[in-house]
């Protein structure tokens, strides 16, 4: 019986081909379906593995691209850092050349814009020269030093003739009266000797000029002062401006604008000190 069944199972007769009652009793139909399912699952796993391999190749390729990009950026950065930075060279203007003509191995520019700042500046100038000489073993002549009078401080740079004529108005412009008398000044307060009660500590414009200090006076502010005086006296602002411009203290010069002189001085190698 067994041999006949096996023979029929392995034969090519019609019953075997059609899956008749002579199918092998030891191989149930469920087993065939399970085998088909396993084959299908195996094929699915192969497809998934193939897809994973593709994604892995893409990921590794992306890492390579990122690394290459980083290398390019790094090499570019190294190249930039390796190349020397180009030093800034400002344009030069003939109107500022006077600063270069001042002798000295040190340069300082003291900027003043207020009444207190304009007075205090002389004490600052004195301190710089004194410390350079006493603590650094230098000489006062080592310094090229400019004190700039601009904005509210501007009238402090006019000479005695202007203070004798317009002192009351200058005092009002400065908002400053003699602390000893509470009266307006009729002389330039920065040229009164032995006034240790002022913020200048008694140092004068004449004294500091003799020690090498030079003065820059704001032209724009001089126009403002002349207008102020003209309104107070019913005078002509243009005429008063001409008077003021022609009567600066010794060793002073008009500059187009004090703020411009302050900035341009730094382009000429001056250290900037703001006195206020």
List pLDDT tens digits, range 122-137: 999 999 999 999 999 9
Instruction: Break the chain into its structural domains and give their ranges.
Output: 2-63, 104-274
DSSP code string of 86-109:
PPP-----GGGHHHHTS--SEEEE
Mean pLDDT across the chain: 83
| pLDDT class of 12 with cuts at 50, 70, 90 | very low
> Alpha-carbon distance 115 to 177, whole Å?
11
Name beta bridge partners: 107.
144
CATH class of 104-274: alpha beta
* Predicted model pTM: 0.71
**Is 223 in contact with 245 (CB distance < 8 Å)?**
no
> Alpha-carbon distance 58 to 26, whole Å?
49
Name beta bridge partners: 271.
108
Q: What is the mean pLDDT of residues 224-246?
A: 98
List pLDDT tens digits, range 24-41: 344 444 445 555 555 566
> Alpha-carbon distance 54 to 179, whole Å?
92
- Residue 16 is predicted with a pLDDT of 36
CB proximity list for 152: less than 8 A, separation 6 or greater: 113, 114, 115, 118, 173, 174, 175
Higher pLDDT, 36 or 238: 238
Q: How many CA atoms lie within 13 A of 86 on its CB side?
A: 3
């Amino acid at each position: 019986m067994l041999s006949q069944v096996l023979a029929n199972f392995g034969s090519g007769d019609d019953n075997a081909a059609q899956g008749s009652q002579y199918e092998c009793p030891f191989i149930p139909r469920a087993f065939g379906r399970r085998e088909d399912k396993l084959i299908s699952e195996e094929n699915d796993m192969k497809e998934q593995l193939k897809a994973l391999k593709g994604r892995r190749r893409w990921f590794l390729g992306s890492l390579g691209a990122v690394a290459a990009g980083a290398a390019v950026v790094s090499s570019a950065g190294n190249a930039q850092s390796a190349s020397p930075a180009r030093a800034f060279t400002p344009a030069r203007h003939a109107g500022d050349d006077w600063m270069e003509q001042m002798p000295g191995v040190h340069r300082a520019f003291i900027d003043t814009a207020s009444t207190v700042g304009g007075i205090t500046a002389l004490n600052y100038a004195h301190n710089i020269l004194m410390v350079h000489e006493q603590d650094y073993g230098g000489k006062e002549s080592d310094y090229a030093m400019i004190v700039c009078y601009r904005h509210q401080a501007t009238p402090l740079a006019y000479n005695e003739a202007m203070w004798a004529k317009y002192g009351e108005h200058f005092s009002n412009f400065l908002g400053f009266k003699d602390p000893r008398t509470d009266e307006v000044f009729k002389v330039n307060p920065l040229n009164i000797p032995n006034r240790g009660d002022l913020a200048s500590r008694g140092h004068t414009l004449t004294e500091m000029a003799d020690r090498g200090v030079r003065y820059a006076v704001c032209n724009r502010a001089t126009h403002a002062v002349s207008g102020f005086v003209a309104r107070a006296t019913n005078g002509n602002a243009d005429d008063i401006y001409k008077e003021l411009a022609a009567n600066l203290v010794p060793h002073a010069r008009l500059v187009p604008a004090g703020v411009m002189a302050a900035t341009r001085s730094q382009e000429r190698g001056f250290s900037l000190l703001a006195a206020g």
